[in-house]
């Protein structure tokens, strides 16, 4: 079963598997009410007709609301910067959808993600994609052995340009569509308006790192660590921290945004356990941020990370993902920067 979104990637993934001799079916997830999706479904139906595969439709709107949108809003309410795509992958695509796929009798779930799965003597590995500009392994760090053994990622060894050429050669309707965006339920990317509609916002003080009041903010959920615009201050300052307990927005200089270490929780390891000798580890503190050498120090249900070079604008709520070479070791949710 191929999770098909209507964009070029998942359509080409289905076509490649069909060409490879798999018995293929497509499945479309309805995740939120959006009348514009009707055209996408029509294109998907046409694509599946061209590929001669069935298309199943699965309504997970209530689950998406509870596990992704509500989570997204709650995290912002706490002063965090969440990543809803990771939550969707963990709970919806590789949780509820994978369960449904296996219950239908299928052997594998396939997606259009740019990453690779490799079987090794020690189990399954999750690897970065060949195309560094499209690699999505960061979003998949919560996958474990139970999911990886049932997962196919046909695009991991391809570059995006190759995928588009394949779509054009096959005459797929999705060949002319844009790539899917990061946050599908905020189509205009206006986070602040979305948050304002879903949670209450209380104005409060903007203070510097010494506690001196510099101005007023419009509600902590409108801001994120590293932000400079929208502060309405005379000085060139950046958001350093969101203090939800006192409803204060803490600002400072660019240098004060730098951190050499952090703590993270809600850990997930691809192998099922933390690495015993984590040498030569690199880490990414956000999607597309350069990987940097890091020391990994597991502490029960948490981990402390020491960076070889200070990192800019580390935001609680975001994910940190650990790599060894091209292999994803796992990751967790950033709780706080240590210094």
**Range with the lowest mean pLDDT among 157-161, 228-232, 275-279?**
275-279
Task: Verify whether residue 184 is a known catalytic residue.
Answer: yes
Model confidence pLDDT, tens digit, residues 235-263: 899 999 999 999 999 999 999 999 999 99
β-pair partners for 263: 304, 336
Specify whether 88 is catalytic.
yes
Average pLDDT over residues 95-118: 98
Task: Just give the CATH number of 2-176.
Answer: 3.40.50.620
| Span 323-339, pLDDT tens digits | 999 999 999 999 998 87
Helix, strand, coil % in the chain, rounded to nearest 5? 30, 30, 40
- pLDDT tens digits, one per residue of 286-319: 999 999 999 998 888 899 999 999 999 999 999 9
Look at residue 79 and tell me whether its pLDDT is greater than 60. yes
Of 48, 73, 85, 88, the catalytic one is 88
Mean pLDDT of 175-184: 63
With contact defined as beta carbons under 8 Å apart, do 207 and 251 qualify?
yes
Integer Cα distance of 314 and 319 in angstroms: 10
Q: What residue spans define the domains of the chain?
A: 2-176, 200-253, 258-337
Tell me the backbone φ, ψ of residue 123, rounded to 5 degrees: 125, -160
Name the least confident of 15-29, 74-88, 124-138, 178-192.
178-192
Looking at every residue in the chain, the average pLDDT score rounds to: 93
Would you identify the CATH topology of the domain 200-253?
A: SH3 type barrels. (2.30.30)
- Is pLDDT above 80 for 177? no
Residues in contact with 13: Cβ distance below 8 Å, sequence separation at least 6, in sequence order: 2, 110, 111, 112, 152, 153, 154, 155
How many CB atoms are located within 10 Å of the residue 145 CB?
A: 14
pLDDT at residue 33 tops 90: no
Q: Of residues 124 and 186, which shows the higher confidence score?
A: 124
> Does domain 258-337 match CATH 3.40.50.300?
no
């Amino acid at each position: 079963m191929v999770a098909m979104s209507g964009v070029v990637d998942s359509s080409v993934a289905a076509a490649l598997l069909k060409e490879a001799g798999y018995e293929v079916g497509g499945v479309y997830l309805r995740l939120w009410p959006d009348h514009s999706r009707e055209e996408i479904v029509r294109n998907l139906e046409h694509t599946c007709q061209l590929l001669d595969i069935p298309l199943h439709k699965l309504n997970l709107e209530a689950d998406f609301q509870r596990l992704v949108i509500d989570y997204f809003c709650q995290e912002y309410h706490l002063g965090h910067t969440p990543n809803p795509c990771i939550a969707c992958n963990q709970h919806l695509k590789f949780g509820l959808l994978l369960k449904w796929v296996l219950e239908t009798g299928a052997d594998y779930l396939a997606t259009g993600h740019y990453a690779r799965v490799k079987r090794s003597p020690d189990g399954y590995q999750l690897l970065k994609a060949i195309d560094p500009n499209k690699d999505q392994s960061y979003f998949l760090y919560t996958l474990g052995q139970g999911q990886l053994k049932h997962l196919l990622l046909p695009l991991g060894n391809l570059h995006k340009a190759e995928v588009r050429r394949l779509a054009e050669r096959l005459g797929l309707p999705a060949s002319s569509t844009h790539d899917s965006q990061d946050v599908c339920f905020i189509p205009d990317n206006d986070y602040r308006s979305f948050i304002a509609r879903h949670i209450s916002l209380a104005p409060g003080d903007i203070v510097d790192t010494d506690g001196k009041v510099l101005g007023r903010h419009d509600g902590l959920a409108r801001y994120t660590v590293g932000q400079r615009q929208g502060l309405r201050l005379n000085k060139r300052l950046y958001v350093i921290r969101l203090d939800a307990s006192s409803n204060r927005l803490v600002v400072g200089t660019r240098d004060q945004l730098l951190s050499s270490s952090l703590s993270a929780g809600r850990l997930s390891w691809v192998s099922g356990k933390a690495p015993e000798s984590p040498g030569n580890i690199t880490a990414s503190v956000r999607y597309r941020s350069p990987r940097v050498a890091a020391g990994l120090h597991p502490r029960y249900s948490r981990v402390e990370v020491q960076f070889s070079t200070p990192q800019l604008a580390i935001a609680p709520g975001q994910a940190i993902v650990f790599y060894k070479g091209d292999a994803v070791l796992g990751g967790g949710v950033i709780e706080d920067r240590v210094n």
